[in-house]
Structure 1
Amino acid sequence: MDWLMDMLHVESIVELWWVLFGLLAQLMFTGRFLVQWIASERKGESVVPISFWYFSVAGGAMLLTYALYRRDPVFVLGQSLGVFIYGRNLWLIYAKRRREA
């Protein structure tokens, strides 16, 4: 565990867990692009599957949590707006489905 803490330049176990959480958040956020890319390749055109928005909300919320822990106002501002937009897109998708049902 010490080698990992040294590599990530952290001095406590708590800090290590936050860094690992931040890395997981970034992987979740990046996963949305992989999902979108795969869906587009399968369809042969650019599409945005609903899973893209779920990955966006989850990754954005996790990154926002990490940014709040880090007390980084630039990071907090960027992620908070994004999480709102991703959530709003999901809301619009489900509102449309309800109307069409």
Structure 2
Amino acid sequence: MTMFSDWIARTGWAEIVWLTVGFLAQAMFSARFLVQWIASERVRRSIVPEAFWYFSFAGGAMLLAYAIYRQDPVFILGQAFGLLVYARNIYFIWSERRAGEPGHEG
């Protein structure tokens, strides 16, 4: 494995890999707005669908990894805080779903 990582470092592939992660993360993060827009247009009112929070969390986690790689403290703090918000909303969704299952009253 070290031969492979050494080769990546020597050839500059590490930068290409991280740029790819960064762009994919930004695309994932941006997709949540498309999901929200389409859902709101369908019902003609502002709503936040469940998929919005999953895209938010996935894109936020990927952007946090990229920010850590870039060693950008402002970007790291912003993404880390966002992950807490996204995780909390996903927790609420799962809790509400679990509360509606038989045997989970109370």
Which residue in 2 is equivalent to 1:31?
A: 31
Where does the alignment leave 5 or more consecutive residues of structure 2 unmatched?
A: 1-10, 102-106
Question: Structure 2: how far apart are the matches of 1:49 and 1:66?
Answer: 26
Which residue in 2 is equivalent to 1:58?
A: 58
Question: Structure 2: how far apart are the matches of 1:97 and 1:15?
Answer: 42
1:75-86 superposed matches below 5 A: 75-86=75-86
* 2:82 match: secondary structure: helix
Matched, 1:45 2:41: no
Q: How many angstroms does 1:100 deviate by?
A: 2.5
Question: Structure 1: how far apart are the matches of 2:15 and 2:100?
Answer: 48
Which residue in 1 is equivalent to 2:94?
A: 94
Question: Structure 2: how far apart are the matches of 1:77 and 1:69?
Answer: 13
Which residue in 2 is equivalent to 1:68?
A: 68
Q: Greater Rg, structure 1 or structure 2?
A: 2
Question: Structure 2: how far apart are the matches of 1:54 and 1:97?
Answer: 15
Where does the alignment leave 5 or more consecutive residues of structure 1 unmatched?
A: 1-10
Q: How many angstroms does 1:60 deviate by?
A: 0.1
Identity across matched positions, percent: 57
Question: Structure 2: how far apart are the matches of 1:100 and 1:15?
Answer: 47
* 1:45 match: secondary structure: coil
| TM-score of the superposed pair, with normalisation by structure 1 | 0.86
* 1:48 match: secondary structure: coil
Question: Structure 1: how far apart are the matches of 2:73 and 2:92?
Answer: 29
Spell out structure 1 runs of 4+ moving beyond 2 A. Answer: none
